[in-house]
Structure formats: C-alpha cells, structure tokens
Amino acid sequence: MASPFVIIGAGAIGSIVGAHLIRSGHDVVFIEANAAHADAIRRDGLRISGHLDAVVRPAVHAPSAYDGPMEHVLLAVKSRDTIAALTPFADRLAAGGYVVSLQNGLEEDKIAAIIGRERTIGAYLTFGGYYKEPGHIVYGGPGSFKLGELDGRETPRVLALQAAFSAQQPIDVTNNIFGYLWSKIALGSVYFGTAIVDAPVLDIYDDPRARSILAVLAGEAVGVADASGVRTENCDGFDPKAFRLDQPADETARAASWDAQRVYWRSHDNTHTGVWRDLKIHRRKTEVEFQVGAVIRIADDVGVPVPHLKRLKMIVESIENGERTQDWGALYDIVA
C-alpha cells in the first residue's frame, strides 16, 4: 500500500489502530477536528497507555487542511458524525479506494450511500479504550477484530487489510459482517443499559434483577435482526440468539453469555463503558440516537415491538439532558 492509511478521527479506536500500524512500519495520516488534541499530537506525539505503552508521531491535519491521497481510508468518528466527516472527502476518494468503518452501529449503510457499496468495507471490533486528555489515549486491551466486504466476498484488499492490522492482534475475515455488527448492536444495547447505572459493569452483571432487564434489551435487538434476515454471530462468547424473546429461555446459554462477558471485562483495564464515560465524565450526548435509535427505526419498519429499547433510549436522553441521574432506578424503570 504505497498511499498512506488516512484515519479520519484520532479518538480511542482510530488512535489505537493507527499507533499499531505506525509501529509496524505503515504510513499513517490522521484527520482530526479536535484542535487541542491535534496540537498535542503535533507537539508531543500521540501517547498510548494502558495495554500498550508507546508514543508515535504521525502527521495530523485539520479536516479542511488535508489535501493528500485518499485511497485507504479508515473512518473512526462517532456515528453521529459519519456523514459530516466523510462527505467532504467523498469526491476525492481514489477510483480504487475504499473506506473501512471502525465505528459502532450500522454505519456501513450510511457510508455506502455516500461512496457506494463496492467501496465500503465493514469492521467488527470489541477492543476498546478511551480519550484521557489531548494527545493521550488509554488502550483497554485486545478483543475481537473482524473485517468483511458487504457482499461477503473474500477480496485481495480485505486480505491486505488483514495483514496490515495483524500487527495489533489476530484479525479474521468474515463473509457475514452484518451478522457480527448486529450481534454487537445487541450487546451494545446491554452496554447502554449498564451505562445508566453509576456502577462498574461487573457489579451490574452481578445483580440478578439487572441481568434480567439487560437480557430483555438484548432479546429485543436480536428479534429485529431476525426479522431483518440477519444471521447473528457469537460476540466474544456473548450469543444474542440465547436471548430471543419468542423462544423458551435457554438459561444455560444465557449463563454462558454472562460468564463470557465477565471474562471479557476482567481482562481489560476499563471498568465502565464508553457510554457511561460520555454521561458521567464528559457530560455529552451519547450515540444512543444512532445505535439504539437505529434499531428502533428498523424495528418499526419490520413490525417488531421494542418497548424496552424505546424506554432505554428515553432514559439515556433524560440523563443527557440533566433531567435524571445515573442510578439503579434508571435501569429498573425500563420495565416499570
């Protein structure tokens, strides 16, 4: 890949991927709208701490200042910013270029609407981290990382990406990227549920009443996936299919899913989700409109009732607006 990897968004995921690419010898350019963050990277380098302790010194540009090649593009902005971040560069994407979504949610369809499905690549990832301060990202540790063409083909460009990203951790190529993305949506619904409680994820999982509510959220999400013709996949041991609401509960499979989640969270430096951090630390709006909200809109289209996801979205928004606090009652109110 003679052209550089252009990473739009130097937040947690973009920085973690970019730092590993740089350390393995790849040319990386960041496009970052946060001026303080960009200035700190230019001055002191991009610091990664936590699971990796490293400082890399990439080129970083404001969105309006980058005029270099746009062939290998990694989109790592919040889902609410997908259209605004990508649209200015759509006409500059090379004829044989592509955009890989390193985002939460179902952003691949939005990207495809801008640049075409044939130039869009999906990615499913469960590793994480967070923005600590300008120029400094904390890497929570590895998880899953899978790549896939939207039509399921195994192409040379996906195999090349697999090789490039493998410096970070093992990478799989999948022919069912949407199955993994929907599985992450189901688990993401659980994470939004935990985020409205001001407690560590593992403490919430230890509460039987909380688990029962989180199970309903996952079940509604997987019901929408089923109705949409999507075959969901296992998500780091969390199997959304175990939470289907139209079938008798498989308590063994559900227990295995919760156990897998406990293993995941015990193996990482993070104790809370990024959604919790948005609400508690940054005091900013979450991606609930673009993740839970997206599931609700699709559910309405396919005729699947999701009353608890709708209630979850309302409660998250009430916390965003300062109308209520993060507490156990917020989670219990989902089924009130």
Reported as a single tens digit per residue, the pLDDT across 118-157 is 999 999 999 989 999 999 999 998 899 999 999 999 999 9
Reported as a single tens digit per residue, the pLDDT across 252-278 is 999 999 999 999 999 887 899 999 999
Q: Are 280 and 326 in contact (CB under 8 A)?
A: yes
Q: Is the pTM of this model over 0.85?
A: yes
Domain spanning 178-335: which CATH class is it, in words? mainly alpha
Average of per-residue pLDDT across 11-27: 97
- Amino acid identity, position 256: A
Reported as a single tens digit per residue, the pLDDT across 53-93 is 999 999 999 999 999 999 999 999 999 999 999 999 999 99
CA distance linking residue 261 with residue 243, whole number of Å? 14
156: Cβ contacts below 8 Å, ≥ 6 apart: none
SS3 at position 184: helix
- Amino acid identity, position 135: G
CA distance linking residue 160 with residue 154, whole number of Å? 11
User: Which helix (H) or strand (E) is 219 found in, with range?
Assistant: helix 208-227
Report which of 134, 59, 70 is spatially closest to residue 96, judged by C-alpha positions: 70
CA distance linking residue 165 with residue 125, whole number of Å? 12
CA distance linking residue 56 with residue 53, whole number of Å? 10
CA distance linking residue 225 with residue 222, whole number of Å? 5
Confidence of residue 248 (pLDDT cuts 50, 70, 90): very high
Q: Is 322 left (phi over 0), alpha (psi -120 to 50) or beta?
A: left
Secondary structure of 8-68 in HEC code, one letter for each residue: ECCCHHHHHHHHHHHHCCCCEEEECCCHHHHHHHHHHCEEEEECCCEEECCEEECCCCCCC
CA distance linking residue 204 with residue 201, whole number of Å? 5
Q: Are 187 and 238 in contact (CB under 8 A)?
A: yes
User: Where in the chain are all domains bearing CATH 3.40.50.720?
Assistant: 5-175
Q: Does the 5-175 domain belong in CATH 3.40.50.720?
A: yes
181: Cβ contacts below 8 Å, ≥ 6 apart: 105, 106, 108, 122, 124
Rg, the chain, Cα only: 19
Average of per-residue pLDDT across 285-310: 97
300-316 b/e with 16+ CB inside 10 Å = b?
eeeebebebbbebbebb
User: Where in the chain are all domains bearing CATH 1.10.1040.10?
Assistant: 178-335
